[in-house]
Amino acid sequence: MSTHIPVLIIGGGLTGLTAAALLARQGVGCMVVERHADTSIQYKFAGISPRSMEIFRSLGLEAEIRAKRTGDQQGGGIARARNLADPDVQWGGQAWPDASPYSPTQPATCDQHVLEPILRRCAERAGADTRFNTEFLSLEQDAAAVYAVIRNRETGKEETLVADYLIAADGANGTLREKLGIDRKGPGVLQHWMSIIFDTDLSPEIGGRPLTSCFVSDLNATITPRPGGRWLLALQYFPEKGERPEDFDRNRCRELVEKAAGRAGVKAELVDARSWEMAAFLADRFSAGRCFLIGDAAHLMPPTGAFGGNSGIHDAHNLAWKLAMVVRGEANARLLDTYDAERRPVIAATLAQALARLQQWFRDPAGRLPPAVAIVNDYDVVFGQRYDSGALVPEDGAPERAFEPVAELAGIPGTRAPHLVIERDGETLSTLDLFGRDFVLLAGDAKWRAAADRLRKDGGLPLACHVLGISGDLAPEGRWPGAYGVEESGAVLIRPDGFVAWRAPGVETDIAGRLVQVLEEVGMRIGHRDGTRR
């Protein structure tokens, strides 16, 4: 006996749960298989970029994440000192600056052990089947399906699953990438680190100022306070000097906390100590047949820049809408080929940015790092990611670059749609709040909506249209249509993930015919009167 599931997700961490929540909210059946008994107890990922918060906002999670935020977002800063008792403190800025010029939401600090349960509940409420304490055993696939065997670790019961598609979200140490025959390349392991979680009575301030995080030079480590007196100390260890993870017992951890504090006798009750490797890898492919890699299974990057976990969230966002449309029969399977075509080049460029920041902050005595690229603004990396090919209709003459300057986003196909404040039925929204399930046409002339409505009704196309202006349903701020690079009568086709697929400067002669042509080029299946799709 076997169980059929449209999408099987191996890995119930940050990216796997994000993918499950996005798929389930789209009405796509999915199952998450995770070998651990529960979500993570380690902090690991913490800094949610505003682009990731836009994704969580689309899931209805923004308020809950902010209510359960960790760290100080109200005036806290990033410090550098010999230790927490050092009177000579150097202060840096916030991890993420104000995002209001570019986004309807702000960044957040929410540690992974708090965020993952939020994502899990969201996925389960939407209908996802989550199987924790369950291990993945084997995998086969053919042209029709993926066949996997899983086992409940408590009962020992095995189950065979037949899935239309599989998402490998099993992390850096997972086995699926190798099982799929996908190699990876990159500088490799760069540093060895210990994450020590401890309970303490230390004040979350330094020099009388709220502390977000502090680099303590006495240990070449970072120390980070969290609400309730639970803190994180992260520091390097050196196997080449004979140091081992098991050396970090309660006594050693207490000594390290006291050294970071700059005084003896502080409370330091060990909660968890875990080793991890700072590494840089990029998979040669992000897919194999019906299986797709996301997050750390597809790429590893150092935490400098806070791009790693956020990139995994963006992987899930890019893939989920494509899987949903293919599973629902709205798109051709070739749409799924655009996942690798879009994400891998952007990830390669993002990894280069993380490595450049690492070289700026840490020495590279082993010479493992490639020559550093020019560093671009953090928000250019976060908001300015650009796809030059994939599920889009590229424009001639557009410059080829991995990141667009965020302040210059102007509706170029392959870039994130610019944020504009709009009003609908007396409610103030962002244009980004309009995107999620279907393609959305933003237009300045009612003729576009008439054609789009007809295609949706007669052809069953997943297409919505909003008209901006006095005669439309949306009242925009004055930057439309210039912000999207079209004329007053033009239109812009936005994908469910908020990226621009195509734009028309003005009204087309045959609007319906042009929309059909564009949607087919992007990968949609166009309906016929006999009920079939091509």
383-392 average pLDDT score:
96
The model's confidence at residue 1, banded by pLDDT at 50, 70 and 90, is low
* Residues 357, 378 contacting (CB under 8 angstroms): no
Note the pLDDT tens digit of each residue in 26-52: 999 999 999 999 998 776 777 899 999
The model's confidence at residue 500, banded by pLDDT at 50, 70 and 90, is very high
164-192 average pLDDT score:
94
Residues in CB range of 319: below 8 A, 6 or more apart = 19, 167, 292, 294, 339, 343
Q: 421-522 is classed in which CATH architecture?
A: 3-Layer(aba) Sandwich (3.40)
525-532 average pLDDT score:
57
The model's confidence at residue 469, banded by pLDDT at 50, 70 and 90, is confident
| SS3 of residue 395 by DSSP | coil
CATH class of 2-185+280-359: alpha beta
7-11, 139-143, 215-219: least confidently modelled range:
215-219
234-243, 361-370, 452-461, 482-491: least confidently modelled range:
361-370
The predicted structure's pLDDT at residue 47:
85
HSE, CB side, 13 Å, CA atoms: give it for residue 44.
22
Domain 2-185+280-359 matches domain 421-522 at the CATH topology level: no
The predicted structure's pLDDT at residue 116:
95
Residues in CB range of 147: below 8 A, 6 or more apart = 2, 139, 140, 141, 160, 161, 162, 163
Note the pLDDT tens digit of each residue in 325-359: 999 999 999 999 999 999 999 999 999 999 998 88
| Position 501 pLDDT exceeds 50 | yes
| Position 533 pLDDT exceeds 70 | no
Q: Give the integer Cα–Cα distance in Å for 47 and 21.
A: 20
Q: Give the integer Cα–Cα distance in Å for 257 and 252.
A: 9
The predicted structure's pLDDT at residue 211:
82
The model's confidence at residue 153, banded by pLDDT at 50, 70 and 90, is very high
The letter for the amino acid at 465 is C
The model's confidence at residue 73, banded by pLDDT at 50, 70 and 90, is very low
The radius of gyration of the chain's CA atoms, rounded to the nearest angstrom, is: 24
DSSP 8-state secondary structure symbol assigned to residue 14: H
Q: Give the integer Cα–Cα distance in Å for 85 and 81.
A: 8
The DSSP code sequence of 139-163 is EEE-SS-EEEEEEETTT--EEEEEE
The DSSP code sequence of 227-262 is GGGEEEEEEEE-GGGT--GGG--HHHHHHHHHHHHT
Q: Give the integer Cα–Cα distance in Å for 399 and 419.
A: 22
Q: Give the integer Cα–Cα distance in Å for 481 and 94.
A: 33
Q: How many CB atoms lie within 10 A of CB 49?
A: 27
Q: What percentage of the chain has pLDDT greater than the value 70?
A: 94
The secondary structure element, H or E, covering residue 327 is: helix 308-327
Q: Give the integer Cα–Cα distance in Å for 259 and 83.
A: 7
Task: Work out the mean pLDDT of the chain and round it to a whole number.
Answer: 91
Question: Which of 109, 84, 113, 88 lies closest to 201, judged by CA?
Answer: 84
Enter the tokens of residue 476.
């925009």
User: Model-level pTM?
Assistant: 0.91
Question: Residues 172, 173, 178, CA angle at the centre, nearest 5°?
Answer: 95
Q: Give the integer Cα–Cα distance in Å for 325 and 201.
A: 52
User: Regarding predicted confidence, which is higher, 112 or 442?
Assistant: 442
Q: Give the integer Cα–Cα distance in Å for 122 and 126.
A: 6
Return the domain boundaries, the chain: 2-185+280-359, 421-522
